[in-house]
Chain A
Amino acid sequence: QVQLVQSGSELKEPGASVKVSCRASGYTFTTYSMSWVRQAPGQGLEWMGWINTNTGNPTYVQGFTGRFVFSLDTSVSTAYLQISSLKAEDTALYYCARGRGACSSTGCYFDYWGQGALVTVSS
């Protein structure tokens, strides 16, 4: 069965960096795109962008450029989200989500989600 398993909670100080992983299993990793979705405490869902798992090409939504980096290791079917220069407002749950449809053209929706990785930024 399809599973996306994310790394655990992280507590970081402002200015530090964090790298969240998302390991996929149960399907061919490179046949579906992977998106990242942020959910701040008590708030809604916010799409951060997606990565083409075939080419490794990332696309970032406005507001998630500069400090956010999507990457892959296809040898272990894993996607990564790295956030640098962390700020208190980066405190949130970060989900990876498998994209169905063509994120690059007609847009996509998400049929499988990781369990979420809580990143807390506090001194």
Chain B
Amino acid sequence: DIQMTQSPSTLSASVGDRVSITCRASQSISSWLAWYQQKPGKAPKLLIYQASSLESGVPSRFTGSGSGTEFTLTISSLQPDDFATYYCQQYNSRSPKVTFGGGTKVEIK
């Protein structure tokens, strides 16, 4: 089974900071990776798919990069609305076809 490991689990940052979250896959998943943002009491929201494709309506300060086993979500200038928990998710042809990372909480410093 493919395992997804996110780091850090918690990140403290200030408005305006550039922040990066890492997601590592236990085996290569090419570029089959999505990123989601979840706020307390809300459903997850798709930000990025296929590792670097920005979902329609998502601000351009969010960028995704990487391929193979290592991926990064970067927020170029953290905004008050960005304090949330972020999840990566792999999707591929091998079972299980979907696995989520454990999440990274971005909190106010």
Q: Which residues of A contact B (CB under 8 A)?
A: 35, 44-47, 61-62, 95, 97, 100-101, 103, 105-111, 113-116
Contacts and interface: CB of A to CB of B under 8 A. Distances in A.
B46 A111 contact: yes
Interface of B: 32, 34, 36, 38, 42-46, 49, 55, 87, 89-93, 96-103
The residue in B32, B42, B91, B96 that gathers the most chain A C-beta atoms within 10 A of its C-beta is B91
Given A105-B93, A107-B97, A111-B55, A44 B49 contact: no
Contacts of B34: 109-110
Contact of B44 (A45, A103, A107): A45
B43 A107 contact: no
Contact of A47 (B32, B42, B93, B98): B98
B91 A101 contact: yes
A99 B91 CA distance: 11
A45 B100 contact: yes
Nearest to B91: A107
19 contacts: A44-B100, A44-B102, A44-B103, A45-B100, A47-B96, A47-B98, A61-B98, A95-B43, A95-B44, A106-B92, A107-B32, A108-B98, A109-B98, A110-B36, A110-B44, A110-B89, A111-B46, A114-B43, A116-B43
A120 B40 CA distance: 18
A1 to B, nearest CB: 11
Nearest to A116: B43
A62 B97 CA distance: 11
Contacts of A35: 98
Contact of B96 (A61, A95, A111, A115): A61
Given A35-B98, A111-B55, A113-B44, A106 B103 contact: no
A116 B44 CA distance: 10
Q: Which 6 A/B pairs are nearest by Cβ-Cβ distance? A: A107-B91, A113-B43, A107-B97, A109-B34, A47-B98, A45-B100
